[in-house]
Amino acid sequence: MILGIDTSLGSAVAVVEPDGLIRSEAASLDPRGHAEVIGTLLERALAEASVRPSDITHVAAGMGPGPFTGLRVGIAAARTFALGRGLPVIPVVSHDAVALELLLHSALTADWGSAGGHENPDDETFAVVTDARRREFAYTLYRGLDDDGLPVRVAEPALIPRDDLDAALAQAAAERRDAD
């Protein structure tokens, strides 16, 4: 049983079975106040999944990119839970998780082309974009899935001034996909 914690956008906690079935999710979309809600979200996710802390075998932590203070709260919560239970922490690039969700959604609904003009998301370079605050965006470029079914990063996560994002994406011939 996996406990997932990510605070790169808002604050989110999930309990996931080894086969990927989501047992419960608890979230706060407030981009601030991570420290005030993370404990309540952890309690709620475990209770809604009917899971005790001793049932958790792994902890996945969203590692950003994202605003520093929010990320720090989520990573600390993940590490603390894992340390208390003697469990491993699995770091996950938050943009990778968003890219996977976008690619899976497009494969299941066949609606990728309506936004970007491509029938197959493997044919398109796209950018997962998040607000990094301080007049910057964080973005990561992707193209399709690898043999393990994971998004292929074309470039590592980067920060860019808000006014420069459109030009950078045009130069990379990448469609913009805002993460929410």
pLDDT digits (tens, 9 = 90+) for 146-170: 999 899 999 999 999 999 999 999 9
- Amino acid identity of residue 103, one-letter, is L
Measured over the CA atoms of residue 79, residue 73, residue 17 and residue 95, the dihedral's sign is negative
Q: Which residue is listed with tokens 């968003």? A: 98
- 3-class secondary-structure state, position 29: coil
Residue ranges, comma separated, of all CATH 3.30.420.40 domains in the chain are 2-92
pLDDT for 120 beyond 70: no
Orientation of helix 34-48 relative to helix 68-85, angle to 10°: 40
Of 101, 167, 155, 147, nearest in space to 125 by CA: 155
> What confidence tens digit (pLDDT) does each residue in 34-72 have?
899 999 999 999 999 999 999 999 999 999 998 888 899
- Residue ranges, comma separated, of all CATH 3.30.420.200 domains in the chain are 94-178
**Do you find a cis peptide bond into 65, omega within 30 degrees of 0?**
yes
For domain 2-92, say whether CATH 3.30.465.10 is its number. no
- In whole numbers, what is the pLDDT of the chain averaged over residues? 90
Where residue 176 falls among pLDDT bands split at 50, 70, 90? Answer: very high
Handedness of CA 95, 98, 100, 103 (dihedral sign): negative
Neighbours of 29 (CB within 10 A): 9
Domain 94-178 fold is Nucleotidyltransferase; domain 5 (3.30.420)
Question: Among 88, 174, 83, which Cα is nearest to 123's?
Answer: 174
Find residue 128's DSSP bridge partners. 140, 177
Find the farthest-apart pair of alpha carbons in the chain and give their distance in angstroms, rounded.
49
